[in-house]
Amino acid sequence: MISRNKAIIDDLILNYFRSLPENKLTESMAYSMNLGGKRLRPSLVLLSSRLFGGEEKEVYPMALAMEMIHTYSLIHDDLPAMDDDDLRRGKPTNHKVFGEASAILAGDALLNEAFTILLANYGVKSREGAEAALFISRAAGREGMILGQVHDLENEKKRATLEELVECHNKKTGELIAASLTAPAILYRAEKDEVDKIHTFGIQLGLAFQIQDDILDRTSTKEVLGKSIGKDGASGKSTYVELFGIEKSREMAREVTDSCLEILSTLDRDTRELAELTSLLLNRTY
Ligand code: GRG
């Protein structure tokens, strides 16, 4: 199921960029979009549309847009002014290949492209479509992922409390993951109670994902993939592992995963695929 979703999304991305005029900007956008990656957020869009009774193909543009927003955030996060990383997904970061100015513009263009796609395919077509696009915009912006990035920069300068760390992760990682699940629910007119539940599930899934990411940053072969890995461990930057150690962090990731599965069990829908993905994420190795 996971590899099928990933294959669909990889194809969507390839075909989309093949349809664009070839120039320096589209080359730089396509470079980062095609670097690989787990395609978690677009996969969640597909799974959520199935959960809420949608037609899978109808959310392909939404899935593509979510991966574009995610990729823009990674390009900007890697810039010298932010994390200053040379490698992403094991390959040279966008600014290392195309230069800093070009990388900033590629990120900007991916963000705009995502909202062009969302508005053209959903926003101008129905009220639910517009509400789904609005939800994604809020999750990615000032109240969501970008605010999380601001918290993350602040937490680099001090030892964060658990509450500060959770708030940072919920915004930086959780909101976009949650929006990938919530936007299809809105599009397919799920009841308010279900929309709230899938959103809460998404935020918790983001937290479990981020704790696992902190653990992998310290323990796995990810160490050879980018220099921020060593930096997180050595600089005292606030992470779960830094605050609680590996074993306690593993226990916390398990607890949050259990609470995700608990939320899913309260939805009167076939949540087996999402439950399977949730458990797989806890055991992921990259
Ligand atoms: C610069 C606006 C702006 C936001 C940056 C998402 C983010 C906020 C920064 C990326 C750095 C980071 C470690 C974020 C935490 C979330 C996370 C684990 C991102 C990596 O997501 P994966 O593992 O990446 O899904 P792949 O490569 O598989 O797509």
Q: What is the pLDDT of residues 231-243, one digit of tens each?
A: 444 456 788 998 9
Please identify, by atom number, the ligand 1 atom nearest to the C-alpha of residue 67: 29
Lowest-confidence segment of 223-232, 238-247, 255-264 by average pLDDT: 223-232
More confident residue, 226 or 26: 26
Is there a contact between 231 and 84 (Cβ–Cβ < 8 Å)? no
Q: Which of 34, 38, 172 to mutate to test the pocket of ligand 1 (most atoms within 8 A of CB)?
A: 172
Contacts of 198 (CB under 8 A, 6+ apart): 48, 51, 178, 181, 182, 185, 190, 267
pLDDT of residue 236: 61
Mean pLDDT across 52-62? 96
Q: Is the CB of 104 under 6 A from ligand 1?
A: no
Residue 79 pLDDT more than 70?
yes
CATH number, domain with residue 46: 1.10.600.10
Mean pLDDT across 95-115? 98
Contacts of 70 (CB under 8 A, 6+ apart): 37, 41, 176
Domain containing 144: what range? Answer: 2-282
Query: What value of ipTM does the predicted structure carry?
Result: 0.91
**pLDDT tens digits along 190-212:** 999 999 999 999 999 999 999 99
Mean pLDDT across the chain: 93
Phi, psi of 58 (to 5 degrees): -65, -25
pLDDT of residue 67: 98
Q: What is the 3-state secondary structure (H, E, C) of 221-251?
A: HHHHCCHHHHHHHHHCCCCHHHHHHHHHHHH
Contacts of 142 (CB under 8 A, 6+ apart): none
pLDDT of residue 3: 80
Percent of the chain with pLDDT over 90: 85
Which whole-number Å values give the CA distances from 270 to 17, 124, 208, 246, in the listed order?
34, 30, 22, 34
Q: How many domains is the chain built from?
A: 1
Mean pLDDT across 111-123? 98
Residue 112 pLDDT more than 90?
yes
pLDDT band at 230 (very low <50, low <70, confident <90, very high): very low
Q: Is the CB of 74 under 6 A from ligand 1?
A: yes
Report the alpha-carbon distance of residue 184 to residue 45 in Å, rounded: 6
Mean pLDDT across 248-254? 96
pLDDT of residue 238: 84
